[in-house]
Structure 1
Amino acid sequence: MRVGTPGFVPERLVEARAARRVQSMKELALMLGVSPSSVSRWETGKQAPEADALAELAKALRVRREFFLRPVFDSPRPMFYRKLVSTLKRDREYQTSQVSWLHEISHVLQHYVDFPELDIPDVLGGSSYSQLRDEDIEDIAGELRSHWQLGEGPCTNVVAVLEKIGCVVGSIEMGTSKLDGVCSWSKSEDRPHILLASDKMNLPRRQMDAAHELGHAVLHRNVSAKALRDDLPEIERQAFRFASAFLMPQTTYVPEVPNYSLAGLLSLKERWRVSVKAQIKRLVDLEIIPQDHATQFYKTYSAKGWNRQEPMDKEWAVPKPRMLHDALCLIVDSGTRSKDDLLSVEFTMHPGDIENLVGLPSGWFSKKTGDVVSLALKTDASRETGAPAGGSVIPFSRRESQ
């Protein structure tokens, strides 16, 4: 009797298939030249693939053989993402697999680098999200701005705020404009992991997506999978209300509205970095303008073609996550681990997937790192040249060996 490869983890095969958008076991079977029943037995754990079949699986799904021999990393709490009816199941599964890989990469890097401590206060105080009123959400957004010392003016880089308070953030192209961001709390790290879509991205959309996922991290940390299924519309509405309040505080944004016209909102967009459409919704939520006024706004907005692209959308660079990128570069540049070491020992996924999730240029792992020559500045150099003393740049701290 053939028992297959010892230690094979069926769930990893399901995960890898989702990561490659292979929609069915039959489709994978055709890729491998085996029967669909064989793939079914592998995925259900009834049988493990033989060594040669495992090698073919690894080649077809572009992972290392060892990928299938390691347990699924972590079991993240419910993932908060907008499940659109028109979104393909394989696209949602792809996004889920990428979040799992983001968790895994983060876990590996934290063996060597200390990430910022998590700074998300318990704003609910033991209460349930279902007890929140809109005014509570407004207050929470304001209190967190104060806690994080952001002031009450425009917050022009929410991604940087997320990383500063200890969130792990990745950004990838989802292959569809119907998937936005997703947030999940890691059980092992007890910190939120946020994956943002980069498809057709512009700064105002990145700002709102990042603030929306921050809303989930703050308000919905302990939501159960059942509650997420049963109450998704309300959970999403709360996250959007938080994002709007966070980006456009009532006490400072509203007094700046020059007049209730699209031209007036467009002038505010340049300062607050929030889309005109989101501003209209904000004014309705705050009961500053009536719904029929907003409806007329939306009609004019659509007639101008702004549903496709608003003015100024292409003028601003889109903020990118930096923490994972900088951590991986620090590990390699400091000589703590080489790229080959990381790929052969730590990571089991394809290097291209790591580069994608971490925000490194394509081919970074295959590019050889040159020898680093350490130079020491002369102690009296600044005195001789008259140059002012510069400030210190403090990078991530490397973990001390345990």
Structure 2
Amino acid sequence: MRVGTPGFVPERLSEIRAARRILSMTELARMLGVNPAAVSRWENGIHAPDVDALSDLARELRVRREYFLRPMHVSDHPMFSRSYASALKRDTSYQGSQMQWLQEISSTLQHYVDFPEVDIPNVMKGLTYKQLRDEDIEGIAQDLRAHWNLGQGPCLNVLEVLERIGIVVGSIEMGTSKLDGLCSWSQGEERPHILLASDKMSLPRRQMDAAHELGHAVLHRGVTEAELKADLKEIERQAFRFASAFLMPATTYVYEVKHYSLAGLLSLKEKWRVSVKAQIRRLKDLDVIPDHHATQLHKSYSARGWQKEEPMDREWPIPEPSLLRDALNLIVDSGTRTKAQLLAEEFTMHPADIENLSCLPSGWFNKGEASIVQLTLKAGPQKNADQSMPGEIIPFSKR
């Protein structure tokens, strides 16, 4: 029989432990100064913490007490994570918790703001991921480019495309180079959510990561957790093939490659905003260059030290997601809710966590709303028409 605070949700304790990178219940117990068995009983749903223990949990883990009483946003869809095999469990668990929070923030804001409708047509045409051939993936990338009116040239801002077609995107620093992007469809509204790592970032890397996660959203929506575990390598390969086809269409990109050298590919990087490394892989996949030529290019690539950073990587600004940030600003600026009301009534997470996932400036919730001051022109002598200066109307651009 459970005792303690009624309505305590044990899964919330697991989630916040992952979000704070606390690997074990014993570690959390040490932080709280309680017996590890008590934390184990709380997290396993055997007992619930009493009021004082709940307050201690909230204070130590930097959330409101109500956080532990609010139902979880649980999706039946798996999370497609681009993590290296050497990634630590605490890092991968952290990434998963941030995706859950991203979906929770998104769901909350949609009570007030109409997000763009999801515009991802059914391009699979009854195929499962197991039936996909490379030519199918190439065709799907082409069909989506046509559907979204992207043409056949470079797509210079994949992030903008994702948000325009209704995908919610977050970008945070993962604190490790072992984690990349993450994609998952939310439950209920069936909207894709993508979480991108900002570590070791450049524009070409951001482009490829975003296109890769788009590939998961398009190709792997029906994949089960068991299938993901069993066929992870093939599922990841398909997503990369989609991303390459989406960023470098076979109908145009390959015809611009005049010199199959690092210098030649570097010149194309400036136009297509795709890394030299990704271009080598693309030319090899399309059988434009043989395997031995690709191997030689990779050796020269490594010899120049480009594995860590390629030329031009720092020349372009890195786009950031804007959908959640704009939604929060709209809610506050319109007077629908104040920042204090959002924190007291809608969110149970720490303000810094919301700012981080929504790409808001640090301390946004602490800044007071600006009061609007109405100004009027001073009364005074009017100038003659021939003395007045001609005016020019400058139109505002649409956001």
Residue 276 of structure 2 aligns with which residue?
276
Displacement, 1:372? 2.2
Asked if structure 1 preserves the Cα contact closer than 8 Å seen for 2:181 and 2:209, the reply is yes
Residue 265 of structure 2 aligns with which residue?
265
Asked if structure 2 preserves the Cα contact closer than 8 Å seen for 1:74 and 1:188, the reply is no
Is 1:369 matched with 2:369? yes
Asked if structure 2 preserves the Cα contact closer than 8 Å seen for 1:142 and 1:249, the reply is yes
Structure 2 counterparts to residues 98-113 of structure 1, below 5 A: 98-113=98-113
Residue 17 of structure 1 aligns with which residue?
17
- 1:27-57 CA distance string (max 9 Å, x none): 0000000011000000000000010000000
Asked if structure 1 preserves the Cα contact closer than 8 Å seen for 2:75 and 2:185, the reply is no
Residue 348 of structure 1 aligns with which residue?
348
Q: 1:75 & 1:376 partners in 2: Cα distance?
A: 54
Aligned Cα root-mean-square deviation (Å): 1.7
Asked if structure 1 preserves the Cα contact closer than 8 Å seen for 2:2 and 2:48, the reply is no
Is 1:393 matched with 2:398? yes
Residue 220 of structure 2 aligns with which residue?
220
Displacement, 1:82? 2.4
Which region of structure 1 is more displaced relative to structure 2, 342-351 or 184-193? Answer: 184-193
Displacement, 1:389? 6.3
Displacement, 1:390? 2.3
Q: 1:361 & 1:75 partners in 2: Cα distance?
A: 29
Asked if structure 1 preserves the Cα contact closer than 8 Å seen for 2:78 and 2:224, the reply is yes
Asked if structure 2 preserves the Cα contact closer than 8 Å seen for 1:172 and 1:196, the reply is yes
Which secondary structure does the structure 1 equivalent of 2:179 belong to?
A: coil
Q: 1:361 & 1:389 partners in 2: Cα distance?
A: 29
Q: Which amino acid aligns with 1:43?
A: E
Residue 321 of structure 2 aligns with which residue?
321
Displacement, 1:76? 4.9
Q: Which amino acid aligns with 1:169?
A: V
Asked if structure 1 preserves the Cα contact closer than 8 Å seen for 2:129 and 2:219, the reply is yes
Q: Which amino acid aligns with 2:85?
A: V
Structure 2 counterparts to residues 1-400 of structure 1, below 5 A: 3-373=3-373, 385-388=390-393, 390=395, 393=398
Q: Which amino acid aligns with 1:367?
A: K
Q: Which amino acid aligns with 1:240?
A: F
Which secondary structure does the structure 1 equivalent of 2:196 belong to?
A: strand
- 1:182-234 CA distance string (max 9 Å, x none): 00001122110000000010000000000000000000011111111111111
TM-score scaled by length of structure 2: 0.95
Which secondary structure does the structure 2 equivalent of 1:372 belong to?
A: coil
Q: Which amino acid aligns with 2:253?
A: Y
Q: Which amino acid aligns with 2:198?
A: S
Q: 1:385 & 1:141 partners in 2: Cα distance?
A: 52
- 1:231-272 CA distance string (max 9 Å, x none): 111110000000000000011100000211000000000000
Asked if structure 1 preserves the Cα contact closer than 8 Å seen for 2:203 and 2:317, the reply is yes
Displacement, 1:125? 1.9
Which secondary structure does the structure 2 equivalent of 1:112 belong to?
A: coil
Q: Which amino acid aligns with 1:78?
A: P
- 1:302-349 CA distance string (max 9 Å, x none): 110000100000111001000100010010011110000000000000
Unpaired runs of 5+ residues, structure 2, are 378-388
Task: Please say which structure displays the higher CA radius of gyration.
Answer: 2
Asked if structure 2 preserves the Cα contact closer than 8 Å seen for 1:265 and 1:276, the reply is yes
Displacement, 1:393? 3.3
Asked if structure 2 preserves the Cα contact closer than 8 Å seen for 1:171 and 1:196, the reply is yes
Asked if structure 1 preserves the Cα contact closer than 8 Å seen for 2:83 and 2:180, the reply is no
Which secondary structure does the structure 2 equivalent of 1:196 belong to?
A: strand
Q: How many residues align?
A: 389
Asked if structure 2 preserves the Cα contact closer than 8 Å seen for 1:64 and 1:348, the reply is yes
Q: Which amino acid aligns with 1:196?
A: L
Q: 1:32 & 1:385 partners in 2: Cα distance?
A: 70
Which secondary structure does the structure 1 equivalent of 2:180 belong to?
A: coil
Q: 1:330 & 1:375 partners in 2: Cα distance?
A: 23
Q: Against the structure 1 CA distance between its residues 226 and 157, is the aligned structure 2 distance closer, same or farther, given a 3 Å change threshold? A: same
Which secondary structure does the structure 1 equivalent of 2:195 belong to?
A: strand
Q: Where do 4+ consecutive residues of structure 1 move more than 2 Å?
A: 372-377, 384-394
Asked if structure 1 preserves the Cα contact closer than 8 Å seen for 2:247 and 2:274, the reply is yes
Q: Which amino acid aligns with 1:47?
A: H
Asked if structure 1 preserves the Cα contact closer than 8 Å seen for 2:83 and 2:178, the reply is no
Asked if structure 2 preserves the Cα contact closer than 8 Å seen for 1:172 and 1:195, the reply is yes
Q: 2:268 & 2:397 partners in 1: Cα distance?
A: 36
Q: Which amino acid aligns with 1:217?
A: A
Q: Against the structure 1 CA distance between its residues 256 and 71, is the aligned structure 2 distance closer, same or farther, given a 3 Å change threshold? A: same
Which secondary structure does the structure 2 equivalent of 1:73 belong to?
A: coil
Q: 2:83 & 2:333 partners in 1: Cα distance?
A: 40
- 1:3-49 CA distance string (max 9 Å, x none): 20000000000000000000000000000000110000000000000
TM-score scaled by length of structure 1: 0.94
